[in-house]
């Protein structure tokens, strides 16, 4: 049976919180993520304040499938095929942003970082929310990344609106980040 909001009710709740402008924490391949609706400026600004992260750095968009990313990016079919060959999985691509991507998501860049997660809960959450979701590590900037729900609670406590409990692969590293235009690995 696939993981859906019908089989795992916290996904339904978290998706509802995201659509209502809330901020949620959820497991990804290696660390817990902090997410919200990228089109909701107030939600993104709140997420950045919780994390104590400056907006100019930009954020990652995590999707349940490539169809969710299409409106947010400006890439050729050939480049999309190249990205799809690494998904679902822990590979984030920095790609030209479409006009739809607001400054509060892309920061000072003309590009946006995107990924189709290999983690079943993260993918199901984005699909249930009906939009790619912001994905940044669920920790205060400069502090170690949270790798379990307890660590999220200790660092972010009552600041978040919902926490989706689940397992991260403790042996995994944060996602590899590749710049599509240059082919350069920015984080390996």
Summarised one tens digit per residue, pLDDT across range 51-103 is 999 999 999 999 999 999 999 999 999 999 999 999 999 999 999 999 999 99
Q: Which two tokens stand for residue 20?
A: 């209502």
User: The dihedral of CA 61, 62, 64, 66: what is its sign?
Assistant: positive
4 pLDDT exceeds 70?
A: no
1 pLDDT exceeds 50?
A: no
pLDDT band with cut points at 50, 70 and 90 for residue 175: confident
Number of other CB atoms surrounding residue 79 within 10 Å: 16
pLDDT band with cut points at 50, 70 and 90 for residue 157: confident
Q: Is 24 left (phi over 0), alpha (psi -120 to 50) or beta?
A: beta
pLDDT band with cut points at 50, 70 and 90 for residue 111: very high
pLDDT band with cut points at 50, 70 and 90 for residue 9: confident
Architecture of domain 9-187: Alpha-Beta Complex (3.90)
SS3 call for 55 = helix
For residue 171, give Cα distances in angstroms to 30, 52, 136, 174, 177: 7, 27, 19, 10, 18
**The pTM is what?**
0.93
| pLDDT of 171 | 76
């Amino acid at each position: 049976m696939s993981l859906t909001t019908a089989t795992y009710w916290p996904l339904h709740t978290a998706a509802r919180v995201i659509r209502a402008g809330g901020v949620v924490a959820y497991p990804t391949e290696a660390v817990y993520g902090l997410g919200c609706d990228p089109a909701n400026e107030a939600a993104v600004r709140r997420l950045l304040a919780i994390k104590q992260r400056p907006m100019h750095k930009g954020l990652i968009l995590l999707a349940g499938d490539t169809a969710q990313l299409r409106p947010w990016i400006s890439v050729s079919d050939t480049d999309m095929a190249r990205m799809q060959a690494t998904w679902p999985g822990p590979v984030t691509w920095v790609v030209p942003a479409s006009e739809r991507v607001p400054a509060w998501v892309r920061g000072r860049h003309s590009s946006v970082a995107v990924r189709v997660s290999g983690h079943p809960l993260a993918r199901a959450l984005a699909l249930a929310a009906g939009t790619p979701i912001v994905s940044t590590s669920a920790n205060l900037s400069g502090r170690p990344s949270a790798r379990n729900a307890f660590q999220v609670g200790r660092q972010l406590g009552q600041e978040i609106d919902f926490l989706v409990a689940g397992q991260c692969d403790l042996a995994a590293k944060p996602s590899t980040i590749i710049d599509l235009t240059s082919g350069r690995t920015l984080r390996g």
